Amino acid sequence: MATVLEASVAVVDVIGAIAFVYIASTLAKIARSVGGSIDTANGFLVLALAQVFATVAILSGGRLAYTSYIATSVFSAAGFTIIFTSRKKLYTLTLPALLPILSDTVAAATALVASYKFRGVAKILVASLSIGFILRLVSLFLLPASTGILLLVLGEYSRSLAATVLAVYYALPQGGR
């Protein structure tokens, strides 16, 4: 049962990564054609990398899983920071990456701050992504109790679903407004 759950989250993460790469490549094409900055495209590419790390964390074990777990939230935070600061050049956030607790906190806070400024579907989905990281964060304090495992699974589902729906939604052909 656990293997099926892990595999399903991994598949969803891979789809998300592909969609983020598609968004990044389209943004890079636009930037190239107008001679603009590719910062935003890079941000989405970093988000795709976060999805890849999430997949590795799920499918692997031991130190590699631990490293990938931390990398998932750190890369998510980095991606959102690039996107957020590329639209309003106000400040950059320092992203500590020492412990999963810190990285999850940063990811949740970054996504939450970003979602406050975003609009429409992006606002809801980035907020959901933030909730996913908060659940992961809380679960770390409760592990290895069964409540902690349940929260971790819920957090992973929430995070991967929100990230993938976000990527797929904006990657799909868009008709009207």
Min CB(171)–other proteins separation in Å: 8
Min CB(27)–other proteins separation in Å: 7
Structure tokens at 22: 């598609």
- Is 46 in contact with 79 (CB distance < 8 Å)? yes
Residue 54 CA to residue 46 CA, distance in Å, equals 12
DSSP string, 101-144: HHHHHHHHHHHHHHHHH--HHHHHHHHHHHHHHHHHHHHHHHTT
Residue 83 CA to residue 90 CA, distance in Å, equals 12
Min CB(24)–other proteins separation in Å: 10
In the bound state with other proteins, the residue whose beta carbon lies nearer, of 151 and 163, is 163
Report which of 40, 106, 38 is spatially closest to residue 72, judged by C-alpha positions: 106
In the bound state with other proteins, the residue whose beta carbon lies nearer, of 82 and 152, is 82
In the bound state with other proteins, the residue whose beta carbon lies nearer, of 48 and 56, is 48
Min CB(26)–other proteins separation in Å: 6
In the bound state with other proteins, the residue whose beta carbon lies nearer, of 24 and 56, is 24
Judged by the rule CB under 8 A, the positions of this chain that interact with other proteins are 23, 26-27, 29-31, 33-37, 40, 83, 86-87, 117-123, 169-170, 173-174, 177
